[in-house]
Amino acid sequence: MKRELSKDAKQENGNNKKFKKSIDNNKSTTDKKPKFEKKNVGKFNNNNKKKPQNGMNGPATTVAGEKPDWQKFKKEKKDLKEKRRVQKLENVYDIAVKAKKIEEKLRRSDCIGDKKIELTNELYKLLDGKFEKLIFTHDLSRTIQWLIKFSTDEKRQSIFNEVKAKTAELFHSKYAKNCLKKFLKYGNDNMRQEILLGCSGHVVELVSNVVSGPLIDTAYRTWANDETKNIVKQEFYGGMYKNSKDKNIKTLVDVYAKSTDMKTATLSAVKMNLIRVMNKNAIGNSIVHTILSEFLSQCNDEDRAELIVMLRDSIYELSTTKDGAEVALNCIWHGTTKDRKLSLKSMKEHVKDIAISEYGHIILMACFDSIDDTTLMKKILFPELINNLNDIVNDEHGKKVLLYLVARRDSHNFHPSFIQQLEKGDSNTTSKKPADIREKELLEAVGNQLLDAISNEAIFWLGSSSIAMVTLAILKSCNGDSLDKAFKSIADVLTNPDITLEDNKTKYTIVEHPGLHMMFKKLIQSDKNLLENNKNTFGQQIIDKLDDEEIKRWLSFNRGCFLLVLLIENEDENIKNQLINKLKKHAKILKNQKGSGASILLKKIQ
């Protein structure tokens, strides 16, 4: 009985399911959300690919077994390209073709004199009135460049007058900007100022743009006068200067000089514009450097710290201008320890370029003054300095970097105003290590390497008067075993009669060279300090090299006699007596000499 009931139950259950399914099928579609079929819309869907049209991406479909006619396909493609070009140029296509033929003749090296003038006039007449449209095209912009180059001032001005209303667009155009370069190069000063003033309302945008940024930077640095520079940079001071300029506003401070309540709003606007530009990687622009310098001199510590974080990886880009170098100094002085570390790392590949830069070399000096982590500088800066030592010491700015490293803030080597500029960073809150300890650690790190360089290439380090002054500073400042080797190498060169130097087309032996004489004089005079510390002296090395023949040669020169006098005056008694005994043998030669040096020397040995 129980088994039968279970069968009935199963049958009833099945009937219920069928009934329920039939009800569900009869339900209205409004009772539930419609289901949409999922289509394969992705980029990998082959059905979405555009099918190539005949004559575009391949030859027309051919009958099975036949080879495609590629020559015909190429001709069709060329004709289609030409047809589209005609449509683009509309009514000036024929003129464009003629212009290009004239350009081909005009740019030939044998096109000179009257022929060039004739072709230039013909090309100008052909394009006159159409420059505003054609200057944006690829091929004809090149034709217009040649025309600008060879035209008279009058015709060049006429071309510019036609296109100057679209100056901002010309800066943005990949092709037309090259015509602006020609206007800047061959045009007069008024034209150059007009080009820059034509950017009004778009300066921040143009500086931020990768196409227009380098050109407006070149124009600003090379050709803008002071008045134009002031007008161009005003747009960074806020929106109120976008369409109207004020000739009395020359710096950021002038904006709120009369109404200090505008300071906060003005600085906020400047900061926004600077961040916009820096986010576009336009930090290398000289206009940006100027605005940054003005802003950092006026902003609060919080804003300064925020900008330093954005600038710390761009020290090399800032080193190219005077204002940029001042910004970089602020980054080094007021940056945190982390900021300074990242700044050093960003400079690693550019140490040589910064060292020989007109404005950037002072940045390295600020690093020597401020960065407490001398170990990090030994790893990052010094290897690059030593590897490029000859190039750096041969440069007028590179010399200063080495001099500052071994003779920090020595008034004999640096102008007081230069020292005062570096002293501005002494009050920074990040540096904790005493300056004298930092200076000593840096000198110990690099001293032996500099002395070894002198030992290995003594002739180079005596190659000119200016290099000799760097050599003198190194020899006076550095200590250790390498110093004796350096003294020996210098003495070898000094006592070698075969080595000569040419200065102003005049050849000198080392002992009679006027510039080197001053260097040897100061080096011998510094022997007194070495004697006080019981160290070997430069004078001892010279006297050891002086045989009778060399002494006779020295006595024939007035400067040679003075060097011998200095040796007698500055060396200890043993060395002094040793030299006097050598000189007494040649007293007759001294009596026959008429120079003042010989007479003084004769008195010293009697």
Residue 162 has pLDDT above 50, yes or no: yes
pLDDT in tens, 138-147: 888 999 999 9
Among 147, 167, 187, give the residue marking a domain's end: 187
pLDDT in tens, 227-265: 999 999 999 998 888 888 888 899 999 999 888 889 999
The C-alpha atoms of residue 205 and residue 172 are separated, in whole angstroms, by 10
Residue 173 has pLDDT above 50, yes or no: yes
Maximum Cα–Cα distance across the chain: 156
Residue 412: inside a domain: no
- Residue 558: domain span: 457-606
Average pLDDT rounded to a whole number, residues 397-426: 93
Average pLDDT rounded to a whole number, residues 302-309: 95
pLDDT in tens, 365-402: 999 999 999 999 999 999 999 999 999 999 999 999 99
CB distance 375 to 340 below 8 Å: no
CB distance 329 to 425 below 8 Å: yes
pLDDT in tens, 265-285: 999 999 999 999 999 989 999
Residue 425: inside a domain: no
Among 133, 157, 187, give the residue marking a domain's end: 187
Residue 437: inside a domain: no
Grade residue 80 by pLDDT with cuts at 50, 70 and 90: confident
Residue 460 has pLDDT above 70, yes or no: yes
**Residue 237 has which token pair?**
């001071």
Residue 601: inside a domain: yes
Domain count, the chain: 2
Per mean pLDDT, which range of 25-39, 79-93, 194-208, 264-278 is the poorest?
25-39
| Backbone torsions φ then ψ of 556, nearest 5 degrees | -80, -10
The pLDDT of residue 453 is: 94
Grade residue 23 by pLDDT with cuts at 50, 70 and 90: very low
The pLDDT of residue 310 is: 95
- CA 43 to chain CA centroid, Å, is 44
The pLDDT of residue 44 is: 43
Per mean pLDDT, which range of 23-37, 265-279, 506-520, 549-563 is the poorest?
23-37
Among 151, 172, 187, give the residue marking a domain's end: 187
Grade residue 89 by pLDDT with cuts at 50, 70 and 90: low
Query: If you search the block for the tokens 């690099």, which residue do you land on?
Result: 446
Residue 386: inside a domain: no
pLDDT in tens, 473-490: 999 998 878 999 999 999
The pLDDT of residue 90 is: 61
The pLDDT of residue 221 is: 94
Grade residue 36 by pLDDT with cuts at 50, 70 and 90: very low
Residue 25 has pLDDT above 80, yes or no: no
The pLDDT of residue 219 is: 95
Q: Pick from 39-43, 130-134, 333-337 the range whose average pLDDT is largest.
A: 333-337
More reliable by pLDDT, 29 or 550: 550
Residue 147: inside a domain: yes
Secondary structure of 15-73 in HEC code, one letter for each residue: HHHHHHHHHHHCCCHHHCCCCCCCCCCCCCCHHHCCCCCCCCCCCCCCCCCCCCCHHHH
Residue 42 has pLDDT above 70, yes or no: no
The pLDDT of residue 32 is: 46
Residue 62 has pLDDT above 60, yes or no: no
The pLDDT of residue 19 is: 44
Residue 476: inside a domain: yes
Query: Is this prediction's pTM over 0.85?
Result: no
Size of the chain in residues: 606
Residue 329 has pLDDT above 90, yes or no: yes
CB distance 351 to 385 below 8 Å: yes
pLDDT in tens, 125-138: 999 888 988 898 88
Grade residue 43 by pLDDT with cuts at 50, 70 and 90: very low
**Mean pLDDT for the chain?**
86
Residue 338: inside a domain: no
CB distance 288 to 256 below 8 Å: no
Per mean pLDDT, which range of 66-75, 333-342, 343-352 is the poorest?
66-75
Q: What angle do CA 348, 354, 359 make, to 5 degrees?
A: 150
